[in-house]
Chain A
């Protein structure tokens, strides 16, 4: 179970400001999601997935990167090819 304290703590770590009413709302939403996982836990069957897979590796080969223009497309603010971010501690 997620508590309002958990929500506030994570928000502090992420430097996300949340309003007075929001911890309650987010707590409710998080717990609703977690309840779905409880349902999944009750699904019949062993639940064991056979995944005898190890050492899945690729060769050290260079592939093309995105263009700077494409990379910056989603950024809310940019400067000289950099992504602009708020000041951090």
Chain B
């Protein structure tokens, strides 16, 4: 009997674009972003009769770098195969991919498990293949009358990384994907900001039931959403006593749902056979020449040791190459002195504000962030004002307005804690105590809520401009005086 509360089991097939200059089997440029459809196409990637593929060396080098970083074994001999199917995005009516002799097998990637701590997700294999073209469905998929085909993507080099069914929740699947992205970025073989740079097929089942393949997930967030939808759908079916069909479903990003697909091919319908126009690869010996850079796990450990970051901050900061580089630039002038504040302000505050604006970190100057951290460290401004300054900084960059320094913003908005402010706080404290004699009595009687109550009253009077630490110090001092 299937148990609706049974263990969720997830395995992923991740297709990642390798960031080469030219396509996998021809010299067409992969940078088609600013060009029209069908402008980066030649007889080879258009599959014209007689055209012969010529394998891109850098694509193989990049794939091997990934294989080494993910602890895979390079097969002594690998080769390309033709996968035959009919679809308008596939001009040759076959895709050149790898089948029974992939480039690499085994390996693993460590992720943070849902219970905390690290967990190894085993990998099955990594193989190299070409991307098909791009289809634009005109109108509704159901009712649209035709599709438009652009072959600029046809022949773009991909690696497909296949995991074992080792993930136990949609959240772990997302963590796997994020970690994989970080690793590929660190290796400098992948540009996650390119459109179509990642595509995921996921296998998901509830223990004891058939598995379902969800295809066509094209974003990092999409993986968690699509799988969460599937878990609910499958559990509901089991609860109603129905059987889960083994099937292929498609993820509809815009609606956040999966829909039964109409994939009619069975494995044997692809009629795989060795690609006769390409010779096999024997590249295992290249491994020795591949020098890996510092990878996310190592950098996370270093951030904890060198900068004293907490595990969580180190994880967040090193989880994205750009964020990690940014942090190191911000604190470069005074590693130990600036790191504790900078880690919080970058990993928590800045990241949140950027997400909120859907804004790229590229737009933020590390020097400006250093300026802000220095103001906070010197206690020139409160945390609350710090957030305000940061927001102004980001909005100016986003709107392409002249960027003010944090100092200038503090001056213009009069955010600095001045001696006058202390006066205002003292005045507010005095008023709060006088207006609430009962709170003073409570405090004298040792009731702990009294102090918090008075802090709240003073905050209200100063409209949050008082620094909480300073307020606590001044208020406690004042109460002690009156106690005597």
Contact = CB atoms under 8 A, between A and B. Distances in A.
Contacts of B56: 57-58, 60
Contact of B38 (A58, A60, A61, A68): A68
A63 interface: yes
Contacts of B237: none
A82 interface: yes
A39 to B, nearest CB: 20
Interface stretch (B147-155, B321-329, B334-342, B393-401): B147-155
Interface string A32-46: 000000000000000
B29 interface: yes
Interface in A12-52: 12-15, 51
Nearest to B269: A13
Given A58-B57, A63-B28, A65-B29, A87 B42 contact: no
B55 A87 contact: no
A59 B40 CA distance: 18
A62 B283 CA distance: 24
B22 A61 contact: yes
**Chain A: interface secondary structure?**
loop
A81 B41 contact: no
Contacts of B29: 62, 65
B366 interface: no
B54 interface: yes
Contact of B279 (A54, A66, A81, A87): A54
A79 to B, nearest CB: 6
Interface string A50-89: 0101111111111111111001100000011111111111
B284 to A, nearest CB: 11
A55 B77 CA distance: 10
A66 B47 CA distance: 13
Nearest to A53: B279
A54 B282 CA distance: 6
A13 B265 contact: yes
A63 B151 CA distance: 16
Contacts of B85: 13
A26 B26 CA distance: 35
B273 interface: no
A63 B41 CA distance: 10
A45 B39 CA distance: 48
Contacts of B151: 71, 83
A88 B46 contact: no
A55 B40 contact: no
B54 A66 contact: no
A86 B88 contact: yes
A88 B20 CA distance: 31
Which of B136, B148, B278 is packed against the most chain A CB atoms within 10 Å?
A: B148
A3 to B, nearest CB: 15
Interface string B262-293: 10110001000000001111110000000000
Interface in B132-169: 135-137, 144-151
A60 B57 contact: yes
Which of B29, B43, B147 is packed against the most chain A CB atoms within 10 Å?
A: B147
B27 interface: yes
Contact of B148 (A58, A67, A84): A84
A55 B278 CA distance: 9
30 contacts: A9-B269, A12-B264, A13-B85, A13-B86, A13-B265, A51-B279, A54-B281, A55-B281, A55-B282, A57-B54, A58-B27, A58-B55, A58-B56, A60-B20, A60-B59, A61-B22, A63-B42, A65-B28, A65-B29, A66-B41, A68-B39, A71-B41, A81-B37, A81-B150, A82-B37, A82-B136, A83-B150, A84-B147, A85-B149, A88-B135
The 6 closest A-B pairs by CB, nearest first: A63-B27, A82-B148, A60-B58, A85-B88, A57-B57, A14-B86
Given A60-B59, A83-B150, 15 more contacts: A13-B86, A54-B281, A55-B279, A57-B56, A62-B21, A63-B28, A65-B40, A81-B150, A83-B38, A84-B147, A85-B148, A86-B88, A86-B146, A87-B144, A87-B146
